[in-house]
C-alpha cells in the first residue's frame, strides 16, 4: 500500500517539475526578447536623430537671411541659394515694397543683393548677389512626397538665424489664401506641414531627411475664430513649381 500510494505522487511531482522548467525557459525567452526589442527601438531613434542632424547640416549652408529696407521700414525673411554664382530664390512677400536688400550668409558675411524679378501670382522672387563658389541647395522631387514623411524647415524665424524645426508632411495639394496683404490672392498645390512656420521662415527651405529641398515655407494658417496663428498648420510651395518659376525669372525677369 505505501508503494502504491507513492507512485502517483511521484508522477505528479515529475509533471510539476517539467511544467516549472518549461515556464522558466519561456520566461527567459520573453526577457531576452524584451531586451532585444528595447535595444532595437533605441537604435532606431538614434538613427532618426542622426538623419535629422545630417539633413540640417546639409541644408543650412544654402539657406540665407534676407534683409529688406525702404523709407517705410525694414523686414527679414529667408532665401535659398540656387546657383554657385549667386542666384537666390525667396517669397515675393519677403521683398515686396522694399527698395534695397542685403543677404547674410551662413558665415555671417553680409552682402548687397539686387532684385532680378518677381512672380507675384506664385509669391516667388529671385535675388542676385555678386559672389562665387556658393553652396547651392540640392533639389529633391516634390511630386514624390508622401503624407507622413518627415520634413525639416530651415530659415530665420523672427530673425533667429539658422533655425530648424521638424514636422511631417500633413497633406498635399492644398489651397490657401494669403489674404489682402499677400501678393497672391490664392496659392494652389501647396504642401501642408506640421513643421512650425513663423514670420521670417518665409522663403527658406523645407527639406526631407536626406537634406533634399522639397519646398519653400510660405505661410502659416490662421484660426479665423480668434485671428491667431493655428499651431501645426503651415504651407510650403513645392520645389518643382518653385524651380520652374525661378528659371523663368532668371531668363526673362518675370
Cα–Cα separations (whole angstroms), residue 148 to 51, 167, 208, 227, 235:
16, 9, 11, 28, 15
* Residue 161 designated active-site: no
* Residue 208 designated active-site: no
* Residue 123 designated active-site: yes
Question: Is the distance from CB of 102 to CB of 165 less than 8 angstroms?
Answer: no
Question: Is the distance from CB of 126 to CB of 249 less than 8 angstroms?
Answer: yes
**Active-site entry in 62, 194, 202, 208:** 202
Torsion of the alpha carbons at 234, 240, 243 and 245, rounded to the nearest 10: -90
Segment (H or E) for 19: helix 2-59
Rg of the chain over Cα atoms, rounded to whole angstroms, equals 28
**Active-site entry in 93, 170, 194, 212:** 93
**Any idea what DSSP says for residue 141?**
-
**Active-site entry in 92, 122, 123, 208:** 123
- What's 178-220 look like in SS3? CCCCCCCCCEEEEEEECCCCCCCCCCCEEECCCCCEEEEEEEE
Q: Which residues are catalytic?
A: 93, 123, 202
Amino acid at each position: 500500500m505505501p508503494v502504491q500510494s507513492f507512485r502517483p505522487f511521484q508522477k505528479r511531482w515529475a509533471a510539476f517539475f517539467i511544467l516549472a522548467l518549461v515556464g522558466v525557459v519561456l520566461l527567459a525567452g520573453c526577457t531576452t526578447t524584451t531586451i532585444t526589442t528595447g535595444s532595437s527601438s533605441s537604435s532606431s531613434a538614434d538613427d532618426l536623430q542622426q538623419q535629422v542632424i545630417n539633413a540640417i547640416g546639409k541644408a543650412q549652408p544654402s539657406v540665407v537671411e534676407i534683409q529688406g529696407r525702404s523709407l517705410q521700414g525694414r523686414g527679414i525673411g529667408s532665401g535659398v541659394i540656387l546657383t554657385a554664382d549667386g542666384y537666390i530664390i525667396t517669397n515675393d512677400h519677403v521683398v515686396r515694397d522694399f527698395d534695397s536688400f542685403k543677404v547674410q550668409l551662413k558665415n555671417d558675411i553680409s552682402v548687397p543683393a539686387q532684385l532680378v524679378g518677381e512672380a507675384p501670382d506664385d509669391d516667388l522672387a529671385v535675388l542676385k548677389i555678386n559672389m562665387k563658389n556658393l553652396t547651392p541647395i540640392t533639389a529633391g522631387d516634390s511630386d514624390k512626397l508622401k503624407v507622413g514623411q518627415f520634413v525639416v524647415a530651415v530659415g530665420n524665424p523672427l530673425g533667429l538665424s539658422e533655425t530648424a524645426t521638424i514636422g511631417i508632411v500633413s497633406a498635399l495639394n492644398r489651397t490657401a489664401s494669403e489674404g489682402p496683404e499677400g501678393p497672391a490672392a490664392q496659392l494652389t498645390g501647396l504642401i501642408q506641414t506640421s513643421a512650425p512656420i513663423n514670420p521670417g521662415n518665409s522663403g527658406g527651405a523645407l527639406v526631407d531627411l536626406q537634406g533634399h529641398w522639397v519646398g519653400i515655407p510660405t505661410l502659416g494658417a490662421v484660426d479665423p475664430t480668434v485671428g491667431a496663428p493655428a499651431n501645426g498648420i503651415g504651407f510650403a510651395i513645392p520645389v518643382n513649381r518653385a524651380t520652374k518659376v525661378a528659371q523663368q525669372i532668371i531668363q526673362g525677369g518675370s
